[in-house]
Each structure stands twice: as C-alpha cells, then as structure tokens.
Structure 1
Amino acid sequence: MTNFQPVFFAVVFVIVALICYLVVRQLLPTALDKRVEALGGTHLDSAPRPGVAASLSGAAARWLTPFARPSLPKEAWGKSPLRLRFYNAGFRTTTAPITYFGAKTVLTFVLPGVQLFYMWAFPVELQSTALLALLVFLAAVGYYLPNVVLAHIISRRQRQLFEAFPDALDLMRVCVQAGLGMDAAIERVGREMELESSALSEEFHLVSLELRAGASRADALRNLALRVSLEDIDAMVATLVQADRFGTSVAESLRVHSETLRTKRRLLAEESAAKLPVKLLVPLIFCVFPALLTVLLGPAVISVYRILLPRLTGQ
C-alpha cells in the first residue's frame, strides 16, 4: 500500500493541475474573440466581461457537449416535459440541457472509475459480486445525482416565490388602486420586487415582455403559472383571468388572494413548529438521554460494583 501512495498523489496532482489549466484557458479570451473585438472597435479592457459563473457555465457546456449528445431526448426539445422543469428551476439558457445530460453521462462513468482507481492504488479485498454491486451503485448515483440537484433547486426556488408572492400581490393592489393599469402594475411590481426576490422579479419581467410582444394578458399569466408551477399562483392567475373577463374588481381579488396566501403561510409555519417536538424526540432519546443517564447513574453503578458486588459474591 505504501508503494502506491506516491503514485496516487502524483496522479491526483496532475489531474488537478490539468483541470485548473483548462479552466483558466477557457476563461481567457481566445484569438478569435480578440479579432472580433478589434473589428468591432472596442478594447478588451473597456468591454464588459461576463461574470466568472457565466464563463464557467459556458466552458462546462462546451466540455460536456460530446457527452450530452447520447443522452439528449430524441423528441423535440420544445415538447419535452424536462424543459418545463428547467423553467421551474429558473434555467432558460441553451446550455442548461447540455450541462444536465452531460453531467449525467460523465458522473455515470467517473464515479465507478474513481472507485476502481482507488482500489488499484490501495488494494482492498472484495469479492467479484460485491465489487460489481458497488460499481453499479456508484453508476446509479452518478446518473441520478443531477435529478436530485435539479429537484432541490426547483424546491428552493418555489419556496422563495411562495414566500415573496403575498407582498407582490399587495404591491400590485396598491398600484391598481393608484390608477395604474394591470400591465403597468405588473411591470412596476417586477422592478420593485428585485431586492426582495430576484426570481419573482424575473418572472414578472417576463410577463411584461410577453405583454409588450403582443400576447394577451390571459396567455401571459397562464405562462407565468406554467413556469412557476405552484398551486397558489395557478389560483391567482385563474382569479385575475376571471376578473379581467367578467369585469370584477381586480384590487379586491388581489386583496382576498394575498390574505389567503398569508394565512396559508402562517399555517405552514405553525405546522412546522408543531412538528418540532416530534423531530427532536429521536435525537433526544438516542443522543442526549444516554449521555445524561451515563453522567447521573455512572458513579452509582461504579460504587455498587466496588462495594456491594464483593459482598454479594462472598469475596
């Protein structure tokens, strides 16, 4: 085992150095970029550069494109249900599916490869059946790990939208009561909500862009509900569509719906608080109570063992 340790650390160093070199090379402008900037009459120092996260995302997409092609859906991407999940997570770029499917393909083979390399560097005796089961398990983990990450991102974003939506409805109601039209109120709320919730501000901005492009208000609101995929927002969209169709008071509908959302948010908080004692019961029994019992009864047990046990056994 000691003979393979220098080789293992050397290989790890080479891999890390190669990854750092490729990342730095992707972030630096290429000769084509410099030529395009020169033809455009702008200098690289004065031109706005994309953020590091955007550059890393583009570089990762370029690296993962060959690996993503076998996993990309055969049907049209516009009709794929996975596209809606990317919208729910806030991913609207063309690099999102490439990164997703490329990561699934790479992780499916990389995790078993890392395990085999580790077993070669540090030999461990395993039966062939156990080794095969371990490799299949790691491949399954690598294949489904992007699904778990995507589901977590969707859940976190929907939670953020749900918590910020009542404030947006109150602000929209104030705008409508002040004399603004529904389209102008949506645009105004999108600008004002940027500090509190960037995700909700982005969604309202997209609705405003659809309205400017000529889409009807009902279609723009239904697209909002489709992108967010929350029952409360679906109900709000249905209420606004009905109010717009039948001519009822939009401000009153927004007030009632915002109060409903606040009540639901308070009930969810009370439910979480009521579940807290039950969740604390398991660590209390298995972690805190044994330690407390050891501290309280430990000296008594030691005294009984030292004094009473010799007398009872007659020693």
Structure 2
Amino acid sequence: MQALKNFFYVLIENLDYFGIFFLIFVAVAALAYATMTLLVHGPSETQVRLKRLLGNRTETPEEAPRPKFLGGEQVGVAAKISRPLHRLAATEDRSMRNRVRLRLIQAGYRSDAAFYNFLAAKIVLPALLILIYLAFRSFYRFSSDMIPGTITLVAIGYFTPNIWVWLMTKARQERIFKGLPDALDLMVVCVEAGLGLDMTFKRVGDEIRPLCKDLSDEFSLTNLEVRAGKSRDEAFRNMSLRTNVPEVHNLMTVLAQTSRFGTSLATALRIHADAMRVKRRQIAEETAAKATVKLIFPLVLFIFPAIFVVLIGPGAIKIVKYLMPVLGGGG
C-alpha cells in the first residue's frame, strides 16, 4: 500500500498541467460513460436469447427497438438513484407520476424504466456537471465565486432531461404528422376492400412501418387494446393522448363518430385524408414563404459586408490615398 502511495506521489510530481488535465479528462469521460451505460443500455442479445430459450416470448434483436436515452431497462439502480427526487418532488403522487409517464410516452419512451431513468438523469447530470466544473476550477485556479456557476450548472443539468423529452416529443409528433396522410390513404383502400376497422388498423400498422414506425406502433397498440377488451372510444382516446397530435385527435374523433352513428367510414376517411393533404401543402407553402424572411439576417450579417468590401474597398482606398494629403496640408 505504501509503495502504491509513493508511486502516486511520484506520478503527480512529474506531471505537468497537460498531464493533469488529461487525467481529469479521462476520469470525467469514464464517469460519463458509466452514466450513459446506466441510462442507455438495454437488454443484451445474450439476455434476449436466454429469455427466448427459457420460454419467455420476447422480441428478437432485429425486432426490438434500438435502446435510446432514458429508454434502458435498469429499473432497480435507476430507482435507487432517483429515490431522493421522489421525496423532493413528491412524485409518489399518482397524478404527477402519470403526467410524467404520459410525457415520456409522448416522446416515445414506453418502458417502465423510462420514468426512473428520467428522474435518475435529473440527479446524475447536475452532479456530473458540478464535477466537471470543479475539475476545471482546480486546473485553471479560478478566483471567482463558485456559487453562481454551481447554481447555473445545477439548473442546466436538472432541466436538460425535460428539454430532451420536449425535443423528442416534437420530433415524434412531426414524424407522425408527415406519415398520417399516407396512413389514411391505406385505411381508405383497406375499408373499401371490405376489411373491418380492427383489421384495417392491424394492416395499416404493418404496412406503414417502413415509412413511419411511430405511427405504425400507435396503430398496432390501439388494435391490441381493442382486442384486449377496451372499447373503441377508449382505445381511440388513448391513442390521441399518446400522440398529442391534433390531426390524430381529429381522426380518432371521426372514427368514433362514424362507429357510433353508422356513417360511411370510407367517405369520412377520404375527406379527412384530403384535408390533411391540403394542410400539409399549406404548411410547406408557409415554410417556403418564411424562407425569404429568414434569409435577411444571414444576408445582412455575412454576405452584404463581404460584397461591400469588394465593391467599396478599392474606391475607399483611392479616396484615402488622394484626400488625406490634401486634408492634412490644408490643416
């Protein structure tokens, strides 16, 4: 043990600033890797095969969704890490817990571990940022007060998972919105071919998977809920809540009213598909019209100065060359 301490002291004494910075970087990188492994890593291929051999039906590695941030399966460790935040934020309240779970589902994280990983990330990220901040302060020997920087980093680390979930929700909603008109066209074809609404949901969910996996999962999950015994209105309402897309909500309302009043399903779907296509075209036209306005700032800040330098620069040099002696002599 004493030899190890002596080796450590000799190593520290012979290190320069770059060596110390390198060791700090390695330590922080190792901590970050361990954190991301905890939050990101899902069940391994070996575990999936063992479960399948033991008789527990599970998805194959090709069918299973790729593990994503907050979407791992380490419930126990993440639950232990997030336990202080449970007491601090009163997340034992069922209504608050359900709201957080709904936000995660809308972002595409349906696993039970996502809730605990989300809370664990709100604890681990501030601690990780503070460690990095303290490492930089010790290396560069900052003399400023560390309280404002610590508070800022804690706030950034605490709200980063919320921002991440919000960004993932917006991206998922955009993908669903773009894939919905094509799904409606497939639904019209299936209904006119004689399929019932339940089989239409199943067939559309299977066919649209290469185009929009998120929408395919929603159609398949809604069909499974109906097969499990839920009413169609409740299954449609759940799909509307899971997506939080106004167009999907309108579609579910149309389907519920059609099922309740017995009107033509194909006609209602075709009208809704046409309206969706018109709205998508209007959004594209609006985006194209905004492009000219958005180009003003790059033009004024970056392109116009370069053009002015090329056009006015030679003339300005000539003016300075011939007028400065005259002005200097006249003074």
* TM range, smaller chain: 0.7 to 0.9
Residue 86 of structure 1 aligns with which residue? 104
How far is 1:15 from its partner?
4.8
How far is 1:76 from its partner?
2.1
* Distance in 2 separating the partners of 1:90 and 1:210: 18
Residue 211 of structure 2 aligns with which residue? 196
* Distance in 2 separating the partners of 1:144 and 1:21: 21
Residue 7 of structure 2 aligns with which residue? none
How far is 1:11 from its partner?
3.3
Contact 1:191-1:201 within 8 A present in 2 as well: yes
- Opposite residue 99 of structure 1, the aligned amino acid is N
Residue 163 of structure 1 aligns with which residue? 178
* Distance in 2 separating the partners of 1:224 and 1:28: 27
Residue 262 of structure 2 aligns with which residue? 247
Identical residues among aligned pairs (%): 34
Deviations 1:45-64 (A, max 9, x none): xx966979549954765553
* Distance in 2 separating the partners of 1:287 and 1:265: 33
Out of 13, 23, 30, the residue aligned to residue 10 of structure 1 is: 23
Contact 2:73-2:111 within 8 A present in 1 as well: no
Contact 2:181-2:273 within 8 A present in 1 as well: yes
How far is 1:5 from its partner?
3.0
Residue 141 of structure 2 aligns with which residue? 123
- Opposite residue 8 of structure 1, the aligned amino acid is F
The two structures, once aligned, show a CA RMSD in angstroms of 3.1
Query: Structure 2: any 5+ residue segments left out of the alignment?
Result: 1-14
Give the secondary structure class of the aligned counterpart of 2:255. Answer: helix
Query: Structure 1: any 5+ residue segments left out of the alignment?
Result: none
* Distance in 1 separating the partners of 2:65 and 2:184: 35
Deviations 1:106-151 (A, max 9, x none): 112221221121010111232x2xx321221111111111111100
Contact 1:77-1:83 within 8 A present in 2 as well: no
* Distance in 2 separating the partners of 1:215 and 1:60: 30
* Distance in 2 separating the partners of 1:5 and 1:173: 66
How far is 1:313 from its partner?
1.8
Deviations 1:126-180 (A, max 9, x none): 2x2xx32122111111111111110000000000001111111111111111111
Evaluate the alpha carbon distance shift between residue 209 and residue 147 of structure 1 in structure 2; reply closer, same or farther with a 3 A threshold. Answer: same
Contact 2:226-2:232 within 8 A present in 1 as well: yes
Contact 1:71-1:101 within 8 A present in 2 as well: yes
How does the TM-score come out when normalised to structure 2? 0.81
* Distance in 2 separating the partners of 1:226 and 1:28: 28
* Distance in 1 separating the partners of 2:97 and 2:24: 44
* Distance in 2 separating the partners of 1:197 and 1:314: 77
Please state if 1:209 is matched with 2:227. Answer: no
Residue 272 of structure 1 aligns with which residue? 287
Evaluate the alpha carbon distance shift between residue 27 and residue 181 of structure 1 in structure 2; reply closer, same or farther with a 3 A threshold. Answer: closer
Contact 1:108-1:141 within 8 A present in 2 as well: yes
Contact 1:5-1:121 within 8 A present in 2 as well: no
Out of 116, 121, 130, the residue aligned to residue 98 of structure 1 is: 116
How does the TM-score come out when normalised to structure 1? 0.85
Bigger mean CA offset, 145-154 vs 287-296:
287-296
How far is 1:17 from its partner?
5.1
Deviations 1:215-262 (A, max 9, x none): 222221111111111111111111111111111101000011111111
Please state if 1:185 is matched with 2:200. Answer: yes
* Distance in 2 separating the partners of 1:310 and 1:85: 72
